[in-house]
């Protein structure tokens, strides 16, 4: 019996990423895959990490019906009452994803990172926007912003400081054309978007 390929999901190790979202427009002539995409359904499963648990949610059959939506997120960032309900085993997720192997996709990729503000280089993209200004007796300081980027797969970088200004949340959005989805698809997008964080945010200017 031919063994189904095992999918490699984001490990969330050695990174400050808490969420990866990949929404892919699937290009296919396979009637079986078109039928799969046309039927509305969603699955949520969990998988163990070296430290902690991650949730993965896949959904298709929503508008537009050629799209596959995938979210991977660290479970610890949910309040217990808000955590998505696990509806299936991880093997079911893998079985569903097997139908997309070899497909060409256009993916909208979004990742959220939360890190201590001390990790930001003092002359980096975000730190350069956080200088405090004075207006009479008032102090003014930017606590969030949005960068738009042209000429790169990365299109937007949003950031905001925590209320105590000890942490920063950074959201990166990008778009990629991917030829031949493999069983490392999610792991590869996770690694790639993490590299974009290093390139645009964690590198000194």
Hey, where are the domains in the chain? Answer: 17-200
Both tokens assigned to 68:
């596959």
- The yes-or-no verdict on residue 115 having pLDDT over 90 is yes
Q: Could you give the C-alpha distances from 124 to 13, 61, 78, in angstroms and in order?
A: 24, 41, 30
Residue 5 pLDDT: 55
Q: Confirm if 8 and 187 have CB atoms less than 8 A apart.
A: yes
What distance in Å separates the CA atoms of residue 39 and residue 31, rounded to the nearest whole number? 13
**5-41 core/surface letters (b: 16 or more CB in 10 A; e: else):** eebebbbbeebbbbbbbbbbebebeeeebeebbeeee
- The yes-or-no verdict on residue 122 having pLDDT over 70 is yes
Q: Confirm if 7 and 101 have CB atoms less than 8 A apart.
A: no
What distance in Å separates the CA atoms of residue 20 and residue 83, rounded to the nearest whole number? 16
Residue 46 pLDDT: 95
What distance in Å separates the CA atoms of residue 26 and residue 67, rounded to the nearest whole number? 6
CA-closest candidate to residue 185, choices 14, 17, 24? 24
Of the two residues 197 and 37, the one the predictor is more confident about is 197
DSSP sequence for 1-46 = -PPPPPPPPP--TTS-EEEEEEEEEEE---HHHHHHHHS-EEEEEE
Residue 61 pLDDT: 80
Residue 168 pLDDT: 96
Q: pLDDT tens digit string along 124-161?
A: 989 888 777 777 788 888 889 999 999 999 999 999 99
Of the two residues 60 and 135, the one the predictor is more confident about is 60
> Mean pLDDT, the chain, as a whole number?
89
- The yes-or-no verdict on residue 107 having pLDDT over 80 is yes
CA-closest candidate to residue 44, choices 29, 60, 55? 55
85: DSSP letter: P
Residue 1 pLDDT: 40
pTM metric for this prediction: 0.90
Please compute Rg for the chain using Cα positions.
Answer: 19
Q: Confirm if 120 and 127 have CB atoms less than 8 A apart.
A: yes
Omega into 129 within 30° of 0, i.e. cis?
A: no
């Amino acid at each position: 019996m031919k063994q189904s390929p095992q999918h490699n999901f984001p490990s969330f190790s050695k990174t400050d990423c808490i969420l990866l979202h990949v929404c892919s427009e699937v290009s296919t002539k396979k009637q079986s895959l078109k039928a799969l995409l046309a039927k509305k359904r969603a699955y949520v499963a969990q998988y163990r990490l070296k430290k902690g648990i991650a949730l993965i949610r896949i959904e298709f059959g929503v508008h537009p019906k050629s799209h596959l939506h995938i979210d991977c997120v660290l479970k610890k960032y949910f309040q217990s009452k808000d955590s998505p309900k696990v509806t299936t085993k991880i093997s079911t997720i893998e079985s569903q994803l097997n139908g997309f192997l070899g497909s060409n996709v256009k993916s909208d990729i979004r990742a959220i990172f939360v890190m201590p503000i001390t990790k930001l280089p003092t002359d980096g993209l975000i730190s350069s926007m956080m200088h405090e200004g004075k207006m009479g007796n008032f102090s003014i300081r930017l606590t969030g912003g949005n960068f738009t980027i042209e000429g790169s797969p990365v299109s937007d970088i949003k950031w905001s400081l925590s209320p105590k200004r000890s942490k920063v949340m950074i959201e990166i959005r990008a778009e990629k054309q991917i030829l031949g989805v493999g069983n490392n698809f999610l792991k590869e997008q996770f690694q790639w978007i993490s590299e974009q964080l290093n390139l645009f945010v964690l590198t000194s200017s």
